[in-house]
Structure 1
Amino acid sequence: MKKIMWICGLLIVGLTACTKNSDDDANSVTPAQQAIIDDNAIQAYIKANNITATKDESGVYYSVITPGTGAYPTATSTVNVNYKGQLINGSQFDSGNFSTVVNGNVIAGWKVGLTKINKGGRLLLLIPSALGYGRYGSGPIPPNAVLVFTIDMISIN
């Protein structure tokens, strides 16, 4: 009987060690590998959509669709924008009007991108996952998702 219990115990330990944690999927690559994956996806998107974009040192790509006028916002500026957020596959996850301090409670990719456009301008942002919602995602945004935002700068204070 002890032998059967011991074998059952080993089976239980062995089987639980083999279960896959859902978190493992999001963490199956290193951050450096994910950055390469994201950059390749962004470059393919740019090529497929015939976009002229600039890569910021942070890894965010941006394209000024319509130039605005006046001063650019700083990290402490309060801005009001209209925006549309999509995944790189084209599915929209959000849109609306938003007021925020540039360096406020927004994803890191927005903190970079909002300083690239002035009042009246329109900007396309292509944000690698590490500067978006990262390896966990958020709501309709899956883990490690590259984000595409179209942002219209309404005002800067």
Structure 2
Amino acid sequence: MKAFIYSTLVLVFLATGSINVHAQKITERYESGAKKYQGKIKKGRKTGKHEFWYESGQIQKEEKYDKRGILIQVKEWDEDGKLLKDFNPEKAVEKLRSKQFADMKWFLVRDGLSYYKTKGKQIYQPINGRKNMMLNYATYTMSGKEVDSSFRRKEPINVQLIGGPYIKGFLMALSYFEPGDSGFIRIPSELAYGRLGTTNVPANAVLVFQVSVISVN
């Protein structure tokens, strides 16, 4: 049956009188009027709980997304309400990433810092004298867990290569990358967040950065 789609913008008025769009609530209904789907979109990404129903009103599927827009849980039921699936796709992806990281042929630079390029030539000595680098990146732990990603936000960053507010190992490794290069950087905890860690990074964690360099000056 044809589904009807309803879209509602959830708005918040700031003290200045401007409007900040928090999320777009989307609802689909069967021709009978019964709810078929409901979920929210924020900044072009799914967020929170997304639910699907049979026309009878029985829940059919539930998807949960974290604030990054990553699907972290899927549940499915049959028309009698029996649970058919309870799956965490992100955990499966993390396992694949972890294996990939372990299998990569890392090129050791110094002090446990290494890189692996998927595009671009291998550089044996750091390139000095550069000030800024525009790039996309994603940060992972060696277990494959994603910590942050400009790829996902579709927002490249401009990295200040000298004295920038970044972990030491990241800046050191970027000196082996040129415009157009893509690859991975493995940073020992001593050159990352060390014994303290952060809210999202465990203490003594080895980090892996995926980078794609756009420009350098």
TM-score range relative to shorter protein: 0.5 to 0.7
Residues in 2 aligned to 1:93 and 1:47: alpha-carbon distance in whole angstroms: 17
Higher relative contact order (CA 8 A, sep 6+): 1
Match of 1:30 in 2: none
User: What are the within-5 Å matches in structure 2 for residues 118-137 of structure 1?
Assistant: 118-137=178-197
Structure 1 residue 98 and structure 2 residue 157: aligned? yes
- 1:50-107 Cα offsets, whole Å, 9 max, x none, are 2111111232011111007xxx853542001100100110010001121121122211
1:64 is matched with 117
- Is the CA contact 1:73–1:102 (under 8 Å) kept in the aligned structure 2? no
Determine the C-alpha separation between the residues in 2 that align with 1:136 and 1:75: 31
Structure 2 stretches lacking a partner, 5+ long: 1-97, 151-155
Equivalent positions of 1:1-150 (< 5 A) are 49-67=102-120, 74=128, 76-96=130-150, 97-103=156-162, 104-150=164-210
**Alignment correspondent of 2:37:** none
The answer on whether the counterparts of 1:120 and 1:154 sit within 8 Å (CA) in structure 2 is: yes
The structure with more helix, counted as a fraction of residues? 1
Distance verdict in 2 for CA 1:48–1:64, change over 3 Å: closer
The alignment yields a C-alpha RMSD, in angstroms, of 2.1
> Residue 98 of structure 1 aligns to which amino acid in structure 2?
I
TM-score (norm 2): 0.47
- The one-letter code matched in structure 2 to 1:91 is K
Moved runs in structure 1, 4+ residues, more than 6 A? 45-48
The secondary structure found in structure 2 opposite 1:154 is: strand
State how far apart, in whole Å, the 2-side matches of 1:108 and 1:46 are.
Answer: 26
Contact 2:101 2:142 in 1 (8 A): no
Higher strand share: 2
Indicate how the Cα distance of structure 1 residues 116 and 144 shifts in structure 2: closer, same or farther if over 3 A, else same: same
Check the 8 A contact 1:132/1:146 in 2, yes or no.
yes
- The code of the aligned residue for 2:188 comes to P
What amino acid maps onto 2:157 in structure 1? F
**Structure 1 gaps, min length 5:** 1-44
Larger CA deviation: 73-82 vs 111-120: 73-82
Question: Who is 1:153 aligned against?
Answer: 213
